[in-house]
Structure 1
């Protein structure tokens, strides 16, 4: 019986694999982030020819690939990385992350009337580490699949835009390598675009961008716990028990933290780290093809441009404040 269930997953999982390969091929030619392409392919599939029923079970496994990718991503973070960032960078990172999350929450709930859980996903994605934070917080708040997909698509859209805007702004403003690197790490969304933009500016900028971004990524655990506690109180009439909090908490985060500790202890060789990086990159590609298949244009019209406007306003505010502070300090 179990073998039969596994066989039912194969067509959909195979479709995710094909979509991931195609997305990465298109990204290598077009320069568009592969995860954005993956979501687009999934959305085109479901809104165009449609998905036959036999593919549905396998497509539904995309949350497992997401969780696996998050766990493996922990190997890219070490405690030494956080320590080396310094107190000034740490203060800027925490302040800008808190400001961004607060602004997105306020705008989404009180100004634009977005669903609370969608607003929280947008806040986490913009404030911490892009799609990874969206996925992690989604488990804590029990967000729907379509909410995860909309939030991830919005964040990835801005990843694509900032890949062009930030280097141009840095050149026009004549920013130093250090300021530019920290600025990208503290205000752009996802790790990949941050590193790419930093390295393209200069080697020093790339080092600071990577260091700052990984420090910011370290906040993901605190943010997940905070959201889990907040929504557990809301959905249990204000009563919060340890058991309820544990049930709300996405347990794969423990795997993420465990790999971060292992990396801090230098238990991974460079070859192993490279293999882990490749593995979680592919897992994300597969997962986001599946997430894209959760985007139905009819439902998306009901949300409209509001999530994009909310994230845009928070990005403009966060990037402006952080740049002003960094230019004054460095």
Structure 2
């Protein structure tokens, strides 16, 4: 932008200088023409005055009057012709300068000298301005080249930074995909764990625990607190079941369970999905071992819960059987 303004200023200064030079040369030619005309008129007047003076000093002889008069008439015609010439020249001067006074014409010629001097000063100043603008143009061109090369360097540096950022973005996207995959895997595990807890809670829902163990307020089944509460309640129920089975004859209990299951299967009361897992009957169940077994796969845990439920039912039925003979003796 600065280079364009400098070129425009230079061209305007050059055109103004050329126009002023043309005006100056035109006015100078006109002034020289007028001066030549004045010189010619002055020369004619001087010659006319000299001739008149010579005629006055000349001694006229007899018989020479007629030729002298003819010469005087001729001189008068010449003077009239010169006067007309002067008048025509003055008319042209008036048309050229636009003034009617002779003194004004003289002042105009004097002013032309001042104008010439002023034009010379303008010419000198314009030449200096032209040199300064050329220097400014060269400086701007050098600055432009410097900015051009520095801009290319900055562009190269920016490209390098962009490539680094793209590489970092790809790395972060890979890490995001990895975490997303792990999150989906953990989500599946969590869903499976919640399903297992619900299934285990269903298996021991017949076992009663003190009311203080229930939550103080209702929880949403989708919340994590609900799952933790169900798991805690189920653990308390399993602990209660272990306490009830402590000291019992596990072999006898298993035998009774098998009989009841067989009877239930005959009557069509045993669920089709029920699975029996053989357990060692000779050893006494250990509380700590039962806790360790609770960490096995989901199928084993479900079978144990069902076994404990059936054990409790057997214990209750056995208690009822023992009490029945006493009632009969009382009746007898």
Instruction: Please state which band the TM-score falls in when normalised by the shorter chain.
Output: under 0.3
If asked which structure has higher relative contact order (CA below 8 Å, sep 6+), I would say 1
TM-score of the superposed pair, with normalisation by structure 2: 0.21
Which structure has the larger Rg over C-alpha atoms? 2
TM-score (norm 1): 0.21
